[in-house]
Amino acid sequence: MDTSQLLKLLDGSAQLEVDGQNMNLPVVKASRGPDGVFVSELHNDKYIMLDPGFFTTAQCESKITFIDGENSVLTYRGYPIEQLAQHSTFLEVAYLLLYGRLPSQDEFSNFKDEINHLTLVGEDFRSYLGTFPQNLRTMPTLSASICALENFTQKTSDIKDPKQVDLATKIIMAKVRTITSFIHRRRLNEPLLYPDYSRGYIDDFLRMCFAVPYERFDSNPLFVEALDKLLILQADHEQNCSTSVVRIVGSANASLYASVAAGVNALSGPLHGGANEAALLQLERIRQYVVEKNGTVRDFIENAKKDGKKLSGFGHRVYKSHDPRATIAKSYAKRIFESGTGSLDLFNIALELEDIATNDDYFKERRLYPNIDFWTGLIYHAIGFDSTMFTTIFALGRIPGWIANWREMHENPMSKIGRPRQIYTGETERDYIPIGER
C-alpha cells in the first residue's frame, strides 16, 4: 500500500468492537454519497468482512459515475444524465467517460474520425465471424469475438503502454459496432456489410444491420436519435456486476480485450443486461395470456406474486426510487409508438403493467420500479431487432464505461489484484480413506 496516497483520502475514523476487542478503522471521505470505512487492515486483527452480494462493500474509489438511488440521481463525471441525454451524443459521452472531461471541437472531431476509420474489420476477421453457425447465441459470440480481436490487431496488448491502451480502446469501441451488426446479419444468413465512413456512428450501425447491399438505405431519424440516447443512458453505471468483473479481470493485468469480453459475459445474465430481452418476452407472454386465455395484466402480476416469480424489468440494487434512465427511455418509447412504428399493443401492456405494479403494495413496500431494461427492449424491437440482439446493443453502449473503469483502476497506484476472502465453514481436517475402505 502506498501510504502517502492513502493518507490523502483518509478523514476521521470509525470504531468497531468485536468480542470486546476495539478496532480503529480509518474513514475515506467521499465527494458525494456515503463515506467509506477502510477495512483492508482488519485481517491483521483476525477478522474479515462478510458481505454476500456486496451490499455495503466498495471495491474501489472512483471519479467516473455517481448514483444516489434514493433520489434518482445519476451523473457521469459530475454531469446529470438528463442534461447529457438532452444535449450530448453517445460518442461525446464516451469521450467524457474515458478522458474525464468534455472535448473541444478539435478533440471531438479527431476522436470521431479515429473511431470511424477503425470500424472496418479485416477479411480474416470477417471469415472468423462467418464460422459461427447461423443460429449462434449472440452474447457468447460477442464475447468470443472481442477476445479474438486481440489476435487480429498489432501492438495493442501492452497494458503498460498508454498509447497501446488508447488504441485498443478505440479499436474495441469501433469494431464492436461492426461485430454487433455482423451478429445480427449472421443470424439472418445475410451478407456482412462494410462500413460507410461518411455516415454517423448510429446511422451507419443501423445501415450495417438493416440495409440491402447496393440499395440506398436511409435510417429513420427518430430511431437514430433514440438509439444514440439509449447508448448514453447505458454507457456507465458505476460498480455493477459487469463493471466489477471488468475491474477484477483487469486487476490481474489481463488485456483490455480479455477484460471487456468478461464484462460481456457478466452482462449476458437475465438479472443484469439480459433483463431487456426477458422484459420484452414477458410483455409478449402477457399479450398471449390476454388474447388466448382472456386474462388481464393484473391477473398476470398476481400470479407472478403467488408463484414467487420476479417481474423482469423491475427493481434495482441501487435505485430505491425511479430509475432516472427509465424515465428518459420511456419518453423515447412513447415518441416511437406515437409515431406509428412498433407494436402499440405491447407498449400499452407495458404502460398498464407499470401502472398496476407501481401502485401495488408488494412493489411499493419493496420499492420496486421499472428499470431501464423495462423500456429498452420495446425500443430495440420497434427499430427492428430480434430480442436475442438486445443485450449486445446494451454491451455496445456499456463499452466506454467498462473501459473508463479499467483505465482508472490501472492509473491508480493503490490498485491491487482483486482477491475476495471467504469465511470457511467446511470440514476442519480429516484423514484420507482409500476408495476400497469407504
Residues near ligand ACO, by CB under 6 A: 53, 271-273, 275, 310-317, 366, 368, 371-373
In the complex with ligand ACO, the residue whose CB is nearer, 152 or 289, is: 289
Cα atoms in the Cβ-side hemisphere of radius 13 Å centred on 8 = 7
Per the CB < 8 A criterion, the answer to whether 290 and 296 are in contact is yes
Nearest distance from residue 398's CB to ligand ACO, in Å?
9
Nearest distance from residue 414's CB to ligand ACO, in Å?
28
User: Considering 236, 373, 381, 410, which one is annotated as catalytic?
Assistant: 373
Check if 117 is active-site: no
Residues comprising the chain, all counted: 438
Q: Cell numbers 430509475 label which residue?
A: 323
Per the CB < 8 A criterion, the answer to whether 286 and 356 are in contact is no
Tell me the C-alpha to C-alpha distance, in Å, between residue 411 and each of 102, 160, 224, 343.
20, 10, 35, 47
In the complex with ligand ACO, the residue whose CB is nearer, 117 or 366, is: 366
Nearest distance from residue 202's CB to ligand ACO, in Å?
20
User: Considering 237, 316, 381, 410, which one is annotated as catalytic?
Assistant: 316
Check if 316 is active-site: yes
Nearest distance from residue 313's CB to ligand ACO, in Å?
5
In the complex with ligand ACO, the residue whose CB is nearer, 334 or 366, is: 366
SS3 93: helix
Bridge partners (DSSP) listed for residue 76 = 65, 79
In the complex with ligand ACO, the residue whose CB is nearer, 200 or 274, is: 274
**DSSP β-ladder status, 21-28 and 65-68:** unpaired
Nearest distance from residue 55's CB to ligand ACO, in Å?
8
Q: Three-state SS across 24-71?
A: EEEEECCCCCCCEECCHHHHHHCCCCCCHHHCCCCCCCCCCEEEECCC
Nearest distance from residue 58's CB to ligand ACO, in Å?
16
Amino acid at 319: Y
In the complex with ligand ACO, the residue whose CB is nearer, 153 or 312, is: 312
Cα separation, 376 vs 371, whole angstroms: 9
Exposure of 231 by Cβ count < 10 A (0-12 exposed, 13-18 middle, 19+ buried)?
buried
Enclosing H/E stretch for 353: helix 344-358
Cα separation, 234 vs 393, whole angstroms: 10
Residue nearest to ligand ACO (CB): 315
CA gyration radius for the chain?
24
In the complex with ligand ACO, the residue whose CB is nearer, 81 or 165, is: 81
Picking from 345, 274, 338, 344, the residue whose alpha carbon sits closest to that of residue 312 is: 274
Enzyme catalytic residues: 316, 373
